[in-house]
């Protein structure tokens, strides 16, 4: 990896929290909490893991943490494209992966929702 790519990778993994920079590992956490501010997890465009897999890991983390509860609607494709700076195809592949894992289901023209856990009474 060239020095320039290394610097870009470092910048891609940095989040401004207050007046300081905080280094983080992509996909390992739902965000950095400091003084009530939660910095969004970013996609590492230079990482070895495919972009759709990184996005799926972020969404999986939000589901696992309870931030996205059972039967909650996932953000729209357009919102995920804007928030994470990826293409619509990347978002669709990430959602397809989560669907194959049994974490979400999609209703045509309505959106994608978190699947309830077995035995979950709603």
**SS3 letters for the chain?**
CCHHHHHHHHHHCEEEECCEEEECCCCCCCCEEECCEEECCCCCCCCCCCHHHHHHHHHHHHHHCCCCCCCCECCCHHHHHHHHCCCHHHHHHHHHHHHHCCCEEEECCCEEEECCCCCCCC
Domains and CATH numbers, the chain: 1-41 (no CATH), 49-122 (1.10.10.10)
pTM over 0.75: no
Query: What pLDDT digit, counting tens, does each position of 52-89 carry?
Result: 999 999 999 999 999 999 999 999 999 999 999 999 99
Query: What pLDDT digit, counting tens, does each position of 19-39 carry?
Result: 333 434 443 444 434 444 444
């Amino acid at each position: 990896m060239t020095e320039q790519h290394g610097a870009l990778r470092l910048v891609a993994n940095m989040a401004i929290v207050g007046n300081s920079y905080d280094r983080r590992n992509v996909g390992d956490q739902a965000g950095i909490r400091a003084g009530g501010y939660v910095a969004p997890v970013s996609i590492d465009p230079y990482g070895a893991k495919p972009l759709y897999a990184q996005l799926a890991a972020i969404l999986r983390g939000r589901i696992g943490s309870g931030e996205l509860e059972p039967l909650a609607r996932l953000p729209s494709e357009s919102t995920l494209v804007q928030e994470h700076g990826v293409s619509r195809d990347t978002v669709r592949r990430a959602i397809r992966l989560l669907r194959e894992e049994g974490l979400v289901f999609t209703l045509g023209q309505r959106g994608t929702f978190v699947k309830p856990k077995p035995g979950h009474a709603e």
